[in-house]
Structure 1
Amino acid sequence: MATRVHKAGYQRLEAEELRAWAAIPVTIASDVTAGRVIADTKIRPLRALPLGRRMVGQAVTAWCERGDFGAMLHALDTARAGEVVAVDAGGCLQTAYAGEILCGYARARKIAGLVVNGALRDIDTIANWDDFPAFCLGNTAQGPLSKERGAVNGEIVFGGVAVRPGDIVLGDNDGLAIIPLSEARALLPIAQERVRMEASWSAELAKGRTLAEVFALSSEAV
């Protein structure tokens, strides 16, 4: 059986829109969506991202069967510079779905990052690259067993969150948010306002105001 590679006909966002999302912390994306966009918190970056830097890009999706990395290979070939490859490996930690060679290939092609609900390997090498974010559920030395199955550019469930081709994958040291493409333009100004609001709170607290004053808390003396 061959890996199924679907055509992805989603709208590609302008670079300035992605830059605007890169300024939004994952915590803010969570706050303005009541947490529904946040993937499994056990999926972590192999290397802490520098302060203020985030991974952001539109998703190329892959679904891998246990032990088979065919969809991973096709997704990395399909992805364009600036996109993020999002791989649902079903949380499998017994087999690594990519390592130094595949991540090095993605890095050379300027793919914006790789997120895997499963395992990676060659951690020492990948974690030393400061220009290629890789998020995963864990790691193992054992490699894949086959490369013949799976699907690319279909809808997947990644760490409990639905991901469609073209959705925005936003990642930082707090975790991963999947912003549905259909909601991205409506959510962005809300998230930007929340960033400004939090900056205002911090400024007021720095002036010596109390939490009760800044957050307009009500209380009753007893």
Structure 2
Amino acid sequence: MCAIDLFGRMHTIEPDVERPDRDVVAAFEEIPSTIVSDVTGNVGRTMDADLSPASDGVDLAGTAVTVTAAPGDNLIIHKAITMASPGDVLVIDCDGYTGVGHVGELMCESCRANDLAGLVIDGGYRDSREIAEMDFPVYGRGVNPQGPLKQDPGSVNVTVSCGGVSVDPGDVVVGDDDGVAVVPGEDAQDVLELARAKLESEEETREEIQDGTYLFERNGYDELFEDLDVVGPEDSIQ
């Protein structure tokens, strides 16, 4: 459904989301955000460091329901909560605005009660203490006690920019204490396999390190150091 408001702005509500297999998404609960970043090339898949978790020890894995909300307004976020399915993560683009708390304790409680996996908002939230004490992952750009307006419909399930990352509905969102990484939905199975292989490789490396091996030599960084003809991320090595 599309609509144009009095200011000529287009708003879209798309009820259907193509989600990856649930078992694949659930498997990302065991994958750190750092590993997702590594196997997806360390470029453009991790959100800004300013989008931090509301509490420590958080783990997040779910499929994105995306939201574009006008800065200072949360009407569309309320609508999106009713559209999300169990296991989804609300990914909300508020253009980084932290002048109000777009979501608070009761909205997050509603998400948790309906079995959503978490919420990521490129904007401000409030009730930070109560949210931190919940068993519900929330990431945001800042905290502000001021409440939002409810007069702009916004959009649901369109491509958004959140924390500097382009997110489509159905993408896999992975979060932990280090931050948030995003996996394109169509690549979820391939990325999961690469991530598992990376974890196995790191376990072998860890054993060698404990025996005294230097990463500088084991990974060929010594050769890289001698030949610093590196011009871009694609020329680097892990």
TM-score scaled to structure 1, two decimals?
0.90
In percent, how many aligned pairs have the same letter? 33
- Determine the C-alpha separation between the residues in 1 that align with 2:160 and 2:112: 23
Task: Spell out structure 1 runs of 4+ moving beyond 6 A.
Answer: none
Matches within 5 A, 1:108-119: 108-119=113-124
Matches within 5 A, 1:119-134: 119-129=124-134, 131-134=135-138
- Determine the C-alpha separation between the residues in 1 that align with 2:162 and 2:15: 20
Match of 1:103 among 102, 105, 108: 108
Q: Measured at CA, do residues 46 and 8 of structure 1 come closer, stay the same or move farther in structure 2, by a change above 3 Å?
A: same
- Determine the C-alpha separation between the residues in 2 that align with 1:183 and 1:42: 26
Counterpart for residue 13 of structure 1: 21
- Determine the C-alpha separation between the residues in 2 that align with 1:212 and 1:134: 37
Match of 2:60 among 37, 55, 58: 55
Q: Which amino acid aligns with 1:187?
A: V
- Determine the C-alpha separation between the residues in 1 that align with 2:188 and 2:101: 32
Q: Counterpart of 1:96 in 2: which secondary structure?
A: coil
Q: Counterpart of 1:97 in 2: which secondary structure?
A: coil
Number of residue pairs matched by the alignment? 216
Q: Give 1:150 deviation, angstroms.
A: 0.6
CA RMSD of aligned residues (A): 2.0
Q: Counterpart of 2:100 in 1: which secondary structure?
A: strand
5+ residue gaps, structure 2, are 226-238
Assess if the C-alpha contact under 8 Å between 1:55 and 1:172 holds in 2: yes
Assess if the C-alpha contact under 8 Å between 2:12 and 2:158 holds in 1: no
Counterpart for residue 192 of structure 1: 196
Q: Give 1:217 deviation, angstroms.
A: 5.0
Q: Is 1:159 matched up with 2:166? A: no
Q: Measured at CA, do residues 34 and 200 of structure 1 come closer, stay the same or move farther in structure 2, by a change above 3 Å?
A: same
5+ residue gaps, structure 1, are none
Q: Counterpart of 1:29 in 2: which secondary structure?
A: helix
Q: Which amino acid aligns with 1:115?
A: V
Counterpart for residue 202 of structure 1: 206
Q: Give 1:11 deviation, angstroms.
A: 3.2
